[in-house]
Structure 1
Amino acid sequence: MNTPVMIPLFGMELHPHRIFESLAFFIGFRIYIKFRRKETISEEKTVYVLIGAILGSLFGSLIVASLQDIPKLLHSINSHGLLGIFQGKTIVGGLLGGIFGVELSKKLCNQTRSTGDDMVLPLCLAMCIGRIGCFLTGINDDTYGIPTSSVFGIDLGDGIKRHPTSLYDIAFLCCLLFVIKYFFRQKPYEGFHFALFSSTYFLYRFFIEWLKPTIKPYGEMSSIQLTCLLGVLYYAIYFIYQRRRNYRAKSSVYVQ
């Protein structure tokens, strides 16, 4: 497999990462607008939430990617100036940053109802589309896996069979979406589907990072793995809070 697999379009050879990343944003946004439940949030507040999600995702992605390899970041800044901080991005940082960005924007616009469940389908599809671009980029992207002799190994352009971790991500996301939609249809509270999606993905990414040859400067862990642990901790607290909240609500009804 020769990588990157350039995409011929309009007489030009376009990089797959840029093509599929753009498609991911466009399709994810369109699906969210089409299928979001309008009774949960007004049009005006939707704009605030989307701005919070975009800015939070951008900053979260850049910060986590920058902390992954600080010497590389400094070299990139020396070579490209402030544009050097945009040399790396990560889904995990974008997801956690987007979550915090949305929560902050909801506070600012007094949006009390949960809006996360409407994001599960568009976010999942967008991430899958983006991972196709990562896979077609091959070893030129930092998402490839370590060498393996298993049947799953694929030559990503350097003559060595490696774990196709981008394809693992796609398979996991599709399975996770299926489980959420068909086994957890009756959600105990608003926001449960998104919380289940995010916490499970953080947990998955923490373990799958061991199959990637990335540097791990923080106690044998990468900045992505530390971010995953932070995300899992956040949702562990969230689930405990929601469970106690539901229990108190049921107890109150029973007493009355």
Structure 2
Amino acid sequence: MLQYPNIDPIALQIGPIAVHWYGLMYLIGFALVWLLGRWRINQGKTDLTLRDLEDIIFYSVLGVVIGGRLGYVFFYKPDEYLAHPIEILYLWQGGMSFHGGLIGVLVVLFLFARKRQKTFLEIGDFIAPLIPLGLAAGRMGNFINGELWGRPTTLPWGMVFPQTGDGIPRHPSQLYEMGLEGFALFALLWWFARKPRPIGQISAVFLMGYGTFRFLVEFTRAPDYFLGLLAGGLSMGQLLSLPMIAIGAVIFYWSAKKSSHAPSP
């Protein structure tokens, strides 16, 4: 049994200004996206420019925040927030959804693709390999905050999170997610994208890979207390991951059928 290290959520305090680890992890995540994207541009993996990448990142930040918040509102607590809509703006109280943030980013990429007269999947194929390390940074932020802990376990690496107040060892599911949705997915996509692929396949592998890893990790992650387990004994995270896997599979199959088209970078 391990004890949660009780990390101070504030990374830096300068007078009244406090820099939280969670916010810092978001900045690190977007910085990693920029560095990896710049490398892919310099390697000729795309005809997008560095300015295009910076525009995508800037608007994706808005997509993550707006989409992530609205996703949490409508996927997890629609009745509560519809009864008190002003609280949707209370971002400092927490409550973000990855799947909502993904939808927000997809909207941004769709609009950007139209502006640059490219297909949505072309832009998606460039961006997909850049995302997982940013996700890994976000999951580390969850761990530092001592939130989104796992279900009870008797395994030797079970961790006691004081935030639960019950003293029960639990799966450090945030670290599982960091390893699978972050590092493992990054390795898979970076390997897959090393060669030219039919347009859409890199995006498809991201959707299938993330959806599968998230679905599996959710078996160790404690379900949201206000929802519990839903249809078929699955969590909301699992139910939202299933469409990702299905859509990814459809795109991959469609792309393979259209493989005579020009490959993505």
Shorter chain as denominator, the TM-score bin is 0.7 to 0.9
TM-aligned CA distance change 1:234 to 1:57, over 3 Å: farther
The partner residue of 2:174 within 166, 179, 202 is 166
Percent identity of equivalent pairs: 21
Cα distance change, pair 192–207 in 1 and its aligned pair in 2 (3 A): same
Q: Name the CA distance, whole Å, in 1 between partners of 2:6 and 2:22.
A: 11
Residue number in structure 2 paired with 1:32: 37
Separation (CA, whole Å) in 2 of partners of 1:106 and 1:182: 25
The alpha-carbon deviation at position 121 of structure 1 amounts to 4.5
Q: Any unmatched runs of 5+ in structure 1?
A: 251-256
CA distance in 2, matches of 1:64, 1:242: 29
Matched with 1:5 is 8
TM-score by length of 2: 0.75
CA-CA distance at 1:185 after TM superposition: 3.5
More displaced stretch, 154-163 vs 20-29: 20-29
1:43 to 1:21, Cα distance in 2 relative to 1, 3 A: closer
1:143-179 deviation digits (Å, cap 9, x = unpaired): 2111111123112224221111110012113123223
CA spacing shift, 1:50–1:19, aligned 2, 3 Å: closer
Q: 2:132 corresponds to which residue?
A: 124
Tell me the distance in 1 between the aligned counterparts of 2:261 and 2:134.
Answer: 36
Task: Report the number of matched residues.
Answer: 244
Deviation per CA, 1:199-253: give whole Å up to 9, x if none.
211122123223222224752544433332222222122112101111x569xxx
Q: What pairs with 1:134-149 in structure 2 (closer than 5 Å)? A: 134-138=142-146, 141=147, 143-149=148-154
Distance 1:29 1:127, change over 3 A: same
> Is 1:106 paired with 2:118?
no
- Offset of residue 26 of structure 1: 3.3
Q: Report Cα offsets for 1:111-164 as digits up to 9, x if no partner.
A: 2371334434431221111111110111xx2x2111111123112224221111
Amino acid in structure 2 at the alignment position of 1:9? L
Are 2:184 and 1:175 aligned? Answer: yes
Please identify which structure carries the higher helix content.
1
For the structure 1 residues 31 and 183, does the alpha-carbon distance in structure 2 shift closer, same or farther, using more than 3 Å as the test? closer
For 1:232, the aligned partner's letter is: I
Structure 2 distance, partners of 1:163, 1:115, is: 36
Displacement of 1:91 in angstroms is: 2.2
Which residue number in structure 2 is paired with residue 197 of structure 1?
A: 206
Residue equivalent to 2:24: 19
Cα deviation code 1:31-52 (max 9, x no counterpart)? 4245434742246655664465
Q: Distance in 1 between matches of 2:88 and 2:192?
A: 47
TM-score by length of 1: 0.77
